[in-house]
Structure 1
Amino acid sequence: MSVQDRMNDYWSRRAPAYDAGQHRPEHGGRDRALWAEVWSAALPPAPADVLDLGCGSGYVTTLLAGLGHRVTGIDLADGMLEVAQQRVAELPATTRPPRLLRGDMVAPDFPDDSFDVLAGRYVLWTLREPGAALAAWRRVLRPDGVLAMVDSTWFPDGLGSHGSEDFTGSYDDTVRAALPLAEAGSIEASAQALRDGGFRDVEVTPLTGLLELDRAHGAAPGHDVRLQFLLTARP
């Protein structure tokens, strides 16, 4: 199996549990309201053409569709896409349903200048070949577009410190070696990767509201409470 195949297999198995962790009832909907604030501040007014890179179980995809954007989500984990389709089916009839496609975020298969926004949540850390990916992202992003990514430093002590045997078995030494941002100790590593990839006006915003919510209710299962960041940039 290739590095990407191993990651796809892991996230397909994890999809139902991962999705459940994104919709914890103890948040009382406060998390979705906070995320709506984060994305609304980062994105241009709706409707914009948005590509959700590594859309997973569709949390961001459906949220952005609910904000009035024209959204396409891509992922390579079939299990994640199945759950995302279920989430799309739950959207109100008044919401323009997003497209969900099987696609590689490292090499999105779209014409040049296709999107106003490239969005992603929790994908930079698990991004193979960031140089190739960022070049492809600049290609499909319109000249006046925006890149908006949310991530954190999830594994500063190494991926092997994660408690799940399934995770460490999938993200083994071979996979870790292919993911240069996975074990970063600072979000500046991700910001610098964007600059090195040719993006300009890179800004990093700490998401303190989400940190407070996680401190009150705990992080998603299997994760530590960590400060998350919004990274925005221009092509």
Structure 2
Amino acid sequence: MNTDTSATVRSAGAGLQARIDDYWDRRARVYDEAQHRDGRDAVDRDLWGRVWSSALPPAPARVLDLGTGSGHAAFVLADLGYDVTGVDSSAGMLDIARARAEAAKGAPPTFVLGDAIDPPVDGGFDVVVSRYLMWTLREPLVALQRWRGLLRPGGVLAVVDSTWFDAGLEGSPSEFVDSYAAVMDDLPLATAHSIEATTELVTAAGFSDATSRPLTGVLDVDRRLGVAPGHRPRLQHLVRGTA
């Protein structure tokens, strides 16, 4: 690829990401309130604590939480004793995460503004995690390859996601449709019909022992307590690999 073409591709990627970030900046407060609504906080801390503990090495360990948003996974992991750095490209989301960190007890996560595809952090992490990020990535294979480079040898990748839009955007909130309809074709995993599409990319990126596990406990809780407005319960999976 020549220099002019490379610059065009980078510019297109930056424009796509800016459009995605604008949506999450505008929706940050509503999204965070849905994540922490009455009846879910205590249940989620226990539920997700067990999910992450089942896939990660024991604390303390250095964890990089990519696409951290308002810090859902980052705070659960910090409460478990991990040394957590969260990265997100939505300044609106990070404003909420940082405010919560200032009020937190113990050692809260550190939050960094940056693109999850190319995180602005040094390497040497024991773990890379993400929750609901993979489907949003414009270059998931490139991202996974870079994440592997941030892990020490033997480090763990653990990502949670689902096939959220395998049937398209029908039934999604109108504001989401307005923002994402024009970019879905540029997000390779957005309309995947199987979590195996993610598992295969993990292997292609050089991780060994890539596996996926259905999170039936999360689905049960979502069905019992409800999910965010405009969403419906979906079976989520934890995909794990080793650097």
- Name the CA distance, whole Å, in 2 between partners of 1:138 and 1:107: 11
Deviations 1:17-52 (A, max 9, x none): 111111121236112201000111111111101100
The answer on 1:90 being equivalent to 2:81 is: no
Gaps of 5+ in 2: 1-13
- Name the CA distance, whole Å, in 1 between partners of 2:95 and 2:64: 18
For residue 78 of structure 2, what is the aligned residue in structure 1? 65
User: Which 4+ stretches in 1 moved above 4 angstroms?
Assistant: none
Contact kept in structure 2, 1:27 and 1:217, CA below 8 Å: yes
| Count of matched residue positions in the alignment of Structure 1 and Structure 2 | 230
For residue 55 of structure 1, what is the aligned residue in structure 2? 68
1:59-208 → structure 2 map (5 Å cutoff): 59-92=72-105, 95-111=106-122, 113-158=123-168, 160-173=169-182, 175-208=183-216
Residue aligned with 2:112, SS: strand
Name whichever of 220-229 and 142-151 sits farther off.
220-229
- State the shift of 1:162 in Å: 4.3
- Name the CA distance, whole Å, in 2 between partners of 1:228 and 1:105: 21
Q: 1:201 to 1:82 in 2, by over 3 A?
A: same
Task: Give the TM-score normalised by structure 1.
Answer: 0.94
Query: In structure 2, what residue type is equivalent to 1:205?
Result: R
Q: 1:7 to 1:28 in 2, by over 3 A?
A: closer
Give the root-mean-square deviation of aligned CA atoms: 1.3
For residue 34 of structure 2, what is the aligned residue in structure 1? 21
Query: In structure 1, what residue type is equivalent to 2:53?
Result: S
Deviations 1:101-125 (A, max 9, x none): 10111001233x4200001000001
Gaps of 5+ in 1: none
- State the shift of 1:89 in Å: 2.2
The answer on 1:37 being equivalent to 2:46 is: no
